[in-house]
Each structure stands twice: as C-alpha cells, then as structure tokens.
Chain A
C-alpha cells in the first residue's frame, strides 16, 4: 500500500480533489508511462500555458487558445473595489438590521429568531449589496425576435434597482450581441418559420403527454432519425429541455460505484446531473490533459476508496465550447486518453453543435474525428437551431436503454410539434438537404464573423479569452463597477450585451460575453466594434499587454506569435 491509499482510508473522499495531483506524482512507478508528459517546465510568464499545443500530432490544424494573465495592478484595484463595496454592504446591512432603512428583501421573521440564519451566507450578501446595484443590466425584457437586432422594453427604476417599472416605450433596433443565435435561425420569417406554422396547423402546439404514453408523434421519430444522421451516430433521442437532458440522463447512466471525471468549468446542468447520480465526482483542471490523466491513472491504480474494488464505470464529462471561457475542448487528446484507459466519454455540445466544424456538426467535425469515438453525444437545439430542447446520440443500445430509464424521457411532456419542425427544417438547411447552399453560407458567415470579431477586439487591445475559432467571445472587465458601466454604456449606444460576474465567474474575472452570429453582417459588427472601442477607451478596458503584430503582416503574424 502506498502512502496515498492510506491517506484515503483515513480521510475518505474529501481530500481527493485537492491533493490528487500531488499524490499521483509521489507514486513513482506509474509516473513514467504517462501518455501525455509535461512537455516542458518553463512557462511564459504572461500566458497561462494554453498557447502551446501539447500534442500537436493529434491535431490537424493549429489549436490556439489564449488566456492572457490578469495584470497585477488591475487585480489589486479589483480587490480594492470589492473591498470598498463590501464595507458599504455591511453598512447597509447594519442600517437594515436596526430598521433605520427599509429592507426590500426577504429576511427572517420574528418567530424565526434564534433559528439557523437563512440569509447570512456570502451569496446572499453579494446579491443584496453588490448585484442589486447593477441589476438593470440583466433580465431586460425583449419584445421582438432576438435576431441580429432586437427591440427592448424600456424600463426605469426609481429606487436603485429594487423595483422596475416599464415606461411603455420600446428601444428599437438594438444590436444583439448576446443571444446564442450562432447560425441566425432565430427568425420570424423564412423557411423555418413557415414550416413551424404548418406544423402548428397540423398538430397544434401542446402535446399533453409523455413520449411513452400518448405523446409520441411521427414528427418526433422523424426528428430523431434526422439528428442521428446529422451527428453520424446510430441512434438518438430528443428531450424537451436542454438542461434536463444533462441533469436527468447522467443519473441514468452512472450510479454508485462509478466515477465521474468532470471538468472544473462544466455547466451547472452537468454538475447537477453528476451529483444526482450518486457517483463519486472528481474534478480536473480546465482543459488540462495532464490533470485528467493523473486522475484516470489514480482511479485505475487505487480503485474505489476504502474497498479498493475497481470502479464500475469511469465517465469523463466535458463540454464542446465552454460558454464562459470561449475555449474548445481538447477532444483528440481526450479521446486518446479515454481509449487508453478504457473510460467512457460524455460530450456536451450545447454551444458547439452547429457553431463549429466545416459542416456544422460540432467539435467532432471541427477536429475531423469519428463520432463513434464519443460514447454519449449530448447537445441542445436551443442555440444554433433556434428551437428548444436537447438530444442524446450514440449507439442504439445506449439510446434504447435511456428511453426506458431516463427520467426526462419517462416523465417529461414531449416536445411541442412546431419546435420539432423548426429543428427538422433548420437541420436540413445546415445539411444542405433543402437543395440550397443557405446552410453552408451561414456556416461560412459565422466562421468569418468569428475570426473578424476576435481579431479586431484583440487588435484594439482588449483581453479576449478562448479559442480563435470559438463564436463565444469573452472580454475581460475585471472591476465590479465596470460591469455595470459597460452594460449601461453599450445600451446607450444601442447595443445589447451580456455582462457576467460572480458567481458565474471567479470573483475578479468579471467579463462581457459576446456571441457572434451568422445573422450579423459586417456593417453590424463594425458598428458594434466601434462602440466597444469607444466604451473601452471611456472605461479604460484595454488591458492587454501583448505586443501587437505589425499590421502589414496581418493575420499570419498573429498566429505565429501565438504559436511560438
């Protein structure tokens, strides 16, 4: 028995997540057979190590991702800003507690005095005293189709965002940089909308039953066959809700005695699913293959805690595009690891399906891999297809099993027919089965827009996270006041953006997230970029300290800069 297994007996599971990497490296004899060894000890000081492709032989094209490090001064000022806001938060809480100021939020009643406090943890404090002050940037009501441009309902607050009232006016033609409308299928005219209207006339909107009772329509069967063909898998099934696809199907797949290896930045639905499944969960560093391999080796060498029986199943759970970082999963390396260590792979393509790859078939297509290498292909129809719901694709046995065991297949009402029709029509357009090149045009437009938008922002000197090919573009804001100021200033210039802060990101890494769409024209993007640059100067957001490439060398030089 090694030292690490003795530790495990004493400490159980809790110590695993944090100390695992260290333990695995102590265990000398397994160390030398690693598939992916640490390529070099030296790291460039300003980059977090993502720029170097570690196993370039596995990639067909350059894989360049960058996460420029936070400048020290900015980090210090950000913490200072949070410090000041926290002090004022305590002041306001004090005033509320002594009834000097009216309390607008839920609080304990007198009868609950001396019970366990309900509203005292950090997240409550944050919501009450920091989020509330800039709440006008979120949950804005929209009153048109969220295409490239949209209309917003104007609202005002007279009591510092505790309540809002609608003025009755509409803010027209706001450029939409926030919707996950990657291929621009969120439309109220055109082929998809017409087909959906026809489906509504034929089937109605409500189904009123689950798939296994009276809710299984021919349109659902047609859609599932089409999805399977689109993904290149044997079989597939669709669910009415994307979040539930993850959170209800992972518990059907794994259980007690299984191990889930989950990326640290996985979406809440995957985290919830993994927790509901009652399997052991271990978390690896974001997109870090060394960390994943260490966990896999440790899992195989030591087996389950206490009993040391081998794990029943090991499931690696990753996402295609991470929606907050804009990074793309290192799929070729993960598939190599999964094959070597005989684990299963669950790939959540919520953002990547339709948005990546020459044929719009997600990360598998992007890397030119075989879809059969991924055991469970999950994705949503909410984003690129402009519909709602999610799917799971894979081997026929897997899908047949899920049809009988998944909660969201057994208990959820089946998908509304117009939504299913929207999926069928948009998917056929992407596949080119409608006899036009509209789908291919949209894919090309999206990839051009992505490249253009990312390159321009980077040239302006903003810190942009993520992969060069990802249509999710996070731009760092850092300071708490700038989250609010950025959203407001952009809306003043008629551009709708999404700003993100804690708890969706680490506390100092607040950001604005743009989602590029195929519906954006070059003029729209230029207008947006001009406004972003102007606001960037006004708010001092151009933090990047990366040397700019010479303009004459253009795009190529930037690529080589990132590769060195």
Chain B
C-alpha cells in the first residue's frame, strides 16, 4: 500500500524519501494531530516495545530453537549412542 504509489512521488534523495515515510507513519497512526510531547510519548512507547520484541527474540529464540530441535530429534531421530554403550 505504501510502496506502490510511492513511485509517483519523485524523490530527490533518500532523506526526502525517509521524511515522506515518517509523514505516512504520522498520518496512518493519527499522531499527526497530536502535540509534540504526546508524539514523543507515543514514539517512545512504540519503539521501546519494538526494541523489547527484538531483544527478547534475540535472547530467547536461539535457545528455544535449540531445545525444539533436540526435542524433535529425540522423537524422530535414531537411538542415542549412550544406550548402545550400556548394552556393551
């Protein structure tokens, strides 16, 4: 929705394009009409939430992926070698 008609806009440089994207963000969320301090509250809440999401996914996702892989390999994989050692 954002990208397709953006080609009609003729931007001179990246800076202008980013300014336009920020303007779209203001308009769609409705914070365009808010006072500056309200804007900063909204932005800080939103960006801290996004930052927390990214941080938690960076910290916990690899552990969960490893645990899940171990769990599934335990079910579908072959016999672990340690049991073979017990037999001997």
Contact = CB atoms under 8 A, between A and B. Distances in A.
Interface of A: 73, 77, 80-82, 84-85, 88, 91, 130, 133-134, 160, 479-482, 484-485, 537-540, 542
B28 A81 contact: yes
Contacts of A73: 1
A540 B5 contact: yes
Nearest to B2: A540
B32 A485 contact: yes
A394 B20 CA distance: 57
A481 B27 contact: yes
A540 B24 contact: yes
A10 B2 CA distance: 54
Nearest to B10: A537
B2 A484 contact: no
B18 interface: no
B30 interface: yes
A537 B38 contact: no
A479 B28 contact: yes
A88 B39 CA distance: 10
Contacts of A538: 9, 20, 23
A482 B24 CA distance: 10
B28 A77 contact: yes
Nearest to A542: B5
16 contacts: A80-B30, A81-B28, A81-B30, A84-B42, A88-B38, A88-B42, A130-B33, A133-B33, A479-B30, A480-B33, A481-B29, A481-B30, A484-B32, A485-B32, A540-B5, A540-B24
Given A537-B8, A540-B5, A482 B31 contact: no
**Interface hub of B24, B26, B33, B35 (most chain A Cβ within 10 A):** B33
A84 B25 CA distance: 13
A80 B80 CA distance: 53
A479 B9 contact: no
Contact of B34 (A82, A88, A485, A542): A88
A344 to B, nearest CB: 46
Contacts of B31: 84, 481
B35 A81 contact: no
B35 A479 contact: no
B87 to A, nearest CB: 61
Which of the listed residues A77, A84, A91, A539 has the most CB atoms from chain B within 10 Å of its own CB? A84
Q: Which of B5, B23, B27, B35 has the most CB of A within 10 A?
A: B27
Nearest to A159: B35
Contact of B33 (A484, A537, A542): A484
A542 B7 CA distance: 13
B29 A81 contact: yes
Given A85-B33, A479-B28, A481-B26, 7 more contacts: A77-B28, A84-B42, A480-B30, A482-B27, A540-B2, A540-B5, A540-B24
